Homo-oligomer: A and B are copies of this chain.
Amino acid sequence: MKIHIASKILASNEKKALENRKLLKEYSIFTINLMGSPGAGKTSLLEKTIKSLVGQIKIGVVTGDIAGIDDALRIERLGIPVVQINTSGACHLDANMVFNSLLDLPLNAINLLFIENVGNLVCPVEFDLGEDIKAVILSLTEGDDKPLKYPQIFQKSSILLINKIDLMPYLDVSVNRIKEGVLSLNPAIEVFEISCKTGEGFEEWIKWLQTKIS
């Protein structure tokens, strides 16, 4: 069995991703392609990260959803430039969608761009968007067996954020099993254990971001 994405589509995406990468480099923007399941906490992560870095790093956001503008409204409330992509059914963002969004952002006023992908632990990883790094956020409630069941996204990400660790006492889940699974697939991945609700673990994550931008 093969994936159903035609190689032609991927080749055309690859070309556009190179354009995006060039454009983002020209403007010295560090770009993170943020992926994860529905409800893993992608938008919550952005909200808390933005609040932590206000006045320090100029952030921009592209947010992808199949439908709706909830996520963009949440980011906009924080005074951050944001473009909402609606994929009209598509299960991932592609480089062309992102290119069109970049044209609507004040690129001169951004040092750090988050591209919040469609909630999906499978498809988004197939599509290079022109980002510097891919990051995956997995909530503890999704279970500790996920890395080995959805290997590709963990293999191709530079960062794993394990979210919702505040719920640990109420779950039968092992953070160590998540880490072991992920590290067996990708020994170089950096892992942050966080709670977007309580702020636990954010200090380390924010420090990491600061080193990438400064």
Residues of A within 8 A of B (CB): 1-6, 9, 37-39, 65-68, 70, 86-91, 97, 118-123, 139, 141-143, 145-146, 148-152, 164, 166-167, 170, 172, 197
A143 B67 Cβ-Cβ under 8 A: no
Q: How far is the CA of A34 from the CA of B78 in the complex (A)?
A: 38
A68 B141 Cβ-Cβ under 8 A: no
Residue among B86, B123, B164 making CB contact with A123, cutoff 8 Å: B123
Q: How far is the CA of A159 from the CA of B150 in the complex (A)?
A: 26
Chain B residues, CB < 8 A from A152: 66, 89
B39 A90 Cβ-Cβ under 8 A: no
Q: How far is the CA of A3 from the CA of B106 in the complex (A)?
A: 29
Q: In angstroms, how far is the closest chain B Cβ from the Cβ of A25?
A: 26
Main DSSP-derived SS at the A contact region: loop
Residue among B86, B149, B167 making CB contact with A167, cutoff 8 Å: B167
A87 B123 Cβ-Cβ under 8 A: no
Q: Given known contacts A37-B119, A65-B149, A91-B91, is B4 in contact with A5 (CB within 8 Å)?
A: yes
A3 B119 Cβ-Cβ under 8 A: no
Q: Given known contacts A70-B145, A148-B68, is B38 in contact with A39 (CB within 8 Å)?
A: no
- Can you give 20 contacting A-B residue pairs, CB < 8 Å? A4-B5, A4-B90, A6-B6, A37-B37, A37-B119, A37-B142, A66-B122, A66-B149, A66-B150, A66-B152, A67-B148, A70-B148, A91-B91, A91-B122, A119-B121, A119-B150, A120-B120, A141-B164, A141-B167, A172-B197
Q: How far is the CA of A170 from the CA of B166 in the complex (A)?
A: 9
Q: In angstroms, how far is the closest chain B Cβ from the Cβ of A87?
A: 6
A167 B170 Cβ-Cβ under 8 A: yes
Q: How far is the CA of A70 from the CA of B144 in the complex (A)?
A: 12
Q: Given known contacts A4-B5, A38-B149, is B70 in contact with A123 (CB within 8 Å)?
A: no
